[in-house]
Amino acid sequence: MAGEEAFNDKTVFKKNPNIQALRTREGLVLARSGLKGEILFYLESPVAQEIWDALDAGIPAGKIRELVLSTYDVSEKKFQKDLRAFLKDLQLRNIIRPMRPR
């Protein structure tokens, strides 16, 4: 399933337990836990940080979209495309994965 876009509006993502989110003045750093702490992603945008916080809280993809669209002045079509690309990128980097329905 790696590299595959296997999610929809109801999908909830699980964070890789080996990933640490570190807040700085400039943004949010996603890094591997441990001594070497390899940096995997840097989220400078407030929108990206809000998406990460929502993912971390277990909010489904569709609700994240609604939250961002109600908060920021952004085109729904463009944001949907950007959100899918962002979630896919996080999956490819093994930062998140879709949770399997029970």
Q: Which domains are present in the chain?
A: 13-97 (3.90.930)
Kindly state the percentage of the chain with pLDDT values over 70: 90
pLDDT for 34? 75
Q: How confident is the model at residue 102 (pLDDT cuts 50, 70, 90)?
A: low
Q: How confident is the model at residue 40 (pLDDT cuts 50, 70, 90)?
A: confident
Percent helix, percent strand, percent coil in the chain, to nearest 5: 40, 20, 40
**Residue indicated by tokens 């029970």:** 102
The pLDDT tens digits of the residues spanning 43-59 come to 999 999 999 999 999 99
Mean pLDDT along residues 3-30: 86
pTM assigned to the model = 0.84
